[in-house]
Amino acid sequence: MTTADVSVAAIAQEIAARRERRHLLLLCDFDGTLARFDPDPRAVCLPDGVAAALGTLASSRDCSVGVISGRRLQDVRDRVTVPGELYIAGFHGLEIHAPGESFIHPDASAAAAALHALAARVGPQLAALAGVFIEDKDLSIALHYREASPANRLLAEARLLDAARAEIEAGRLRVLPGSYVVELMPSTTWHKGSALEWIRTRVEVLHGPVFTVYLGDDVTDEDGFRAVGPDGIAIGASDRVREAEFRIDGPAAVEQLLQVLAATL
């Protein structure tokens, strides 16, 4: 797919033209899409303007809003506190919260013990590498190296993958690369695109035919872009993505688009 760089106004017009009278399902990644990256993931917060626009959209009878993130589900719920109908997927979709319903993939909890043991084993090996740290997310572990030197990034990734080699080769864990992060996940075919389809099915039951818009900034969002299908629009928020139909420039442009949609829906 060829991704086109277009203005926020042009994308908003495209959404309005294609959506017709269908219910709008707006799904977004969190880090790098709704909020700017920070070397410390705990310091990332949802900008006030984004929160206000999401709250307006989620409270509209014509729109449902969701966030599909690599963070823990509860972590995302704590950071996205807006009124209205809200769907939250964590761990790239392995956990999902919907109004009146929750989901956890059966393979997720099965790998937790191996992931905890791996994080405990490899953490001390990486402690001496500046700019590198391991995040144990319970159902995944993430190696962060945004502030590390190129040499330390390569060394840290090599040490992590070497420590996890047996679990990876046995098919129990898989490697998920991202922006300055490498994540080890339970080995399953479930991904952000699967979460999108799970959420869309439930929104269709409540609201009838939907038009899906998905915004994401990283390679982990490509599955979500592909799952959008012909009845929707995939929008990339960085130049790292290839499968999106349109591309805008980062969280600031995403905020502008959300505000336009909130004002015109």
- Distances in Å between the Cα of 213 and the Cα atoms of 53, 162, 175, 195, 203 are 15, 39, 27, 14, 13
121 burial class (0-12, 13-18, 19+ CB within 10 angstroms)?
A: exposed
| Beta bridge mates, 232 | 212
Phi-psi region of 171 (alpha: psi -120 to 50; beta: other; left: phi over 0): left
- Distances in Å between the Cα of 104 and the Cα atoms of 64, 229, 257 are 21, 24, 31
- Residues serving a catalytic function are 29
Instruction: Report the alpha-carbon distance of residue 7 to residue 172 in Å, rounded.
Output: 43
Instruction: Report the alpha-carbon distance of residue 104 to residue 98 in Å, rounded.
Output: 12
